[in-house]
Amino acid sequence: MIKKQEIEHIHQWSRTIIGAVEKVFFGKRDVIEKVLVSLLCGGHVLVEDVPGVGKTILARAVAVCLGGRFKRIQCTPDLLPADVIGISVYNPKEAVFKFHPGPILSNIVLVDEINRATPRTQSALLEAMAENQITVEGKRLALPAPFFLMATENPIEFEGTFPLPEAQKDRFFLSLKIGYPPREAESQILETQRRTTHPITDLKPVTEPASVLGIQKTVVNVRVDGSLKDYILDIVAASRKHPLFQLGISPRGSLALYKGAQALAALRGRDYVIPEDIKALVLPIFSKRVIIKPEQLMKGITEEIALGQLIDSIDLPVFKEAAG
């Protein structure tokens, strides 16, 4: 049972972080909110969009506001796994090998243009994302807690890139598309970001890693009515036999939607989930977990269109907010 004060604390915590990030990332509050959902569920985020819409600024701003140790990995084809996880260097004076940790051993990691890294280097991230640990010379090292990875990629340019395999896409809790900002937001960008230094340098941490860990433990106790659990299961089951999908949602996907709805409810100041929480997360959580049949892709059917049709085909559960 969650206390009222705990929910109020989470709600205020989210408003503080969103307000801080919005000082440099305008007009996309829903995107920031979904990044926080992933963080509170112990997941990772893939931000996929065209250049210049603020993918890196979003990641950097969230990292600064959350506090903790932050590192950025700029992916290129010559990036090696050792550049990510670290390397042992021989010290001739002490006649021992000393491990020099890589950027992955941080609380928050930004992996910029992840699809420019080779599959060998991408695989070095897989263990860290799935198990919160890395293996160096046969020894396992636990990553700092919390560990949160944000990756960006450009879906338009394919030259010199290495598409992420399905197994790695599934390790991301959710994927986001930022899109172009509204006119008013773009006007703010013109006014505030014409200075010689970016406004992000003015941001300060507004929370700390210990607070994130506490909130993560609280969120799992948000109530989910039985009818809403059945609603999630209906969506997942329908995806596995829907004529548009070659590959439906796995149990990992259904669990992600369940946990994500709990986190979103808490961020919005409730200790219970409502159907709108689930619907709001279907696209970001499922879009990289389904595969559209090739013949449907040729007709212009995208993941967004197919998932929209899937949701429309399932009746919303009869739910009362006082229930549970």
CATH number at residue 283: 1.10.8.80
Structure confidence by residue, pLDDT tens digits, 204-216: 999 988 899 999 9
Its domain, for residue 269, covers 222-324
Is 39 domain-assigned? no
Distance of CA 154 to the CA centre of its chain: 16
Residue 63 within any structural domain of the chain: no
Rg (CA), the chain: 21
Query: pTM of this prediction?
Result: 0.91
**Is residue 196 a part of any domain in this protein?**
no
In a domain, residue 140? The reply is: no
Instruction: Kindly state whether residue 59 falls inside one of the protein's structural domains.
Output: no
Indicate whether 183 belongs to any domain: no
Taking alpha carbons only, the member of 39, 4, 18, 11 closest to residue 260 is: 39
Q: Cα separation of 219 and 323, whole Å? A: 19
Cβ contact 176:47 at 8 Å:
yes
CB 245 within 8 A of CB 292: yes
Question: Using one digit for the tens of pLDDT, what is the confidence trace for 27-36?
Answer: 899 999 999 9
Query: pLDDT tens digits for 54-96?
Result: 888 898 899 899 888 899 999 999 999 999 999 888 888 888 8
Count the neighbouring beta carbons within 10 Å of the beta carbon of residue 296: 16
Question: Quick one: average pLDDT of 279-287?
Answer: 95
Query: In this structure, is residue 204 part of a structural domain?
Result: no
Q: Is residue 163 part of a domain?
A: no
Nearest by Cα to 141 from 105, 108, 90: 105
Domain count, the chain: 1
Q: What CA–CA distance (Å, rounded) separates 56 from 129?
A: 19
What burial class does residue 117 get, using C-beta atoms within 10 Å of its C-beta: 0-12 exposed, 13-18 middle, 19+ buried?
Answer: buried
Give the tokens for residue 309.
């049709």
Q: List helix spans (H) across the chain.
A: 4-21, 29-40, 55-66, 81-85, 119-131, 166-169, 183-192, 209-219, 226-239, 251-267, 275-286, 294-298, 303-312
